[in-house]
């Protein structure tokens, strides 16, 4: 192998951003190329690369080390967590509230659904990066707020998303 495992892991963590940079460079090369034959596809590559870079940076901010206890699996709209002490499965359609609990180390996601016990998932569980796409399907979820709550140093619970808010409309979630 050409790369140390740490360098390989860092490159893999930033894979979307690196791919986006490649698209932007290829698009810029086509735009400035001879004859202007590939100008329109070049601009499409540049714009697509910028969009991919934006999404990639969000994913990097969401990803944990993946070395925590248990494993997360997202299949057909259901989030499953299988840990050494707890576990459970919750359907996204039945999810009522998503909470980030920063009172514990590591931080934990608490998925509260109707008629079942909450599913508690450590943010650094194996496969937890799949939660980003699952959470993105929740109507009204503010991704930037979720990412800032995940990456700030606080020691309290933060309600990230609620299906039907239990608070007045003028009160913020965080």
Residue in 74, 78, 66, 84 with CA at minimum distance from that of residue 126: 66
Distance CA 62, CA 77 (A): 19
pTM above 0.85, yes or no: no
Percent of the chain past pLDDT 90, that is, above it, reads 45
Distance CA 130, CA 75 (A): 10
| Residue 97 pLDDT exceeds 70 | yes
pLDDT in tens, 98-126: 999 989 888 999 999 988 999 999 998 98
pLDDT band at residue 165, thresholds of 50, 70 and 90?
low
Per domain, the residue ranges of the chain are 5-62, 71-162
pLDDT in tens, 44-84: 999 999 999 998 888 888 876 667 788 999 999 899 999 88
Both tokens assigned to 32: 């400035």
Q: 61 Cβ partners below 8 Å, 6+ apart?
A: 147, 150, 151
pLDDT in tens, 8-46: 777 877 888 999 999 999 999 999 987 778 899 999 999
- Burial grade of 27 (CB within 10 A; 0-12, 13-18, 19 or more): buried
């Amino acid at each position: 192998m050409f790369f140390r495992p740490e360098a390989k892991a860092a490159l893999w963590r930033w894979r979307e951003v690196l791919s986006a940079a490649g698209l932007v460079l290829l698009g810029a090369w086509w735009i400035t190329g001879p004859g202007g034959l590939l100008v329109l596809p070049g601009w499409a590559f540049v714009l697509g690369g910028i969009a991919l870079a934006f999404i990639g940076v969000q994913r990097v901010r969401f990803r944990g080390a993946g070395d925590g206890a248990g494993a997360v699996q997202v299949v057909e709209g259901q989030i499953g967590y299988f840990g050494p002490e707890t576990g459970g499965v919750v359907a996204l359609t039945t999810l009522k509230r998503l909470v980030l609990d920063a009172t514990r180390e590591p931080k934990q996601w608490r998925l509260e659904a109707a008629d079942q016990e909450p599913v508690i998932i450590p943010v650094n569980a194996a496969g937890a990066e799949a939660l980003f796409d699952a959470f993105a399907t929740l109507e009204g979820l503010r991704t930037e707020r979720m990412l800032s709550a995940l990456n700030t140093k606080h020691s309290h619970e933060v309600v990230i998303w609620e299906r039907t808010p239990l608070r007045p409309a003028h009160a913020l979630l965080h």
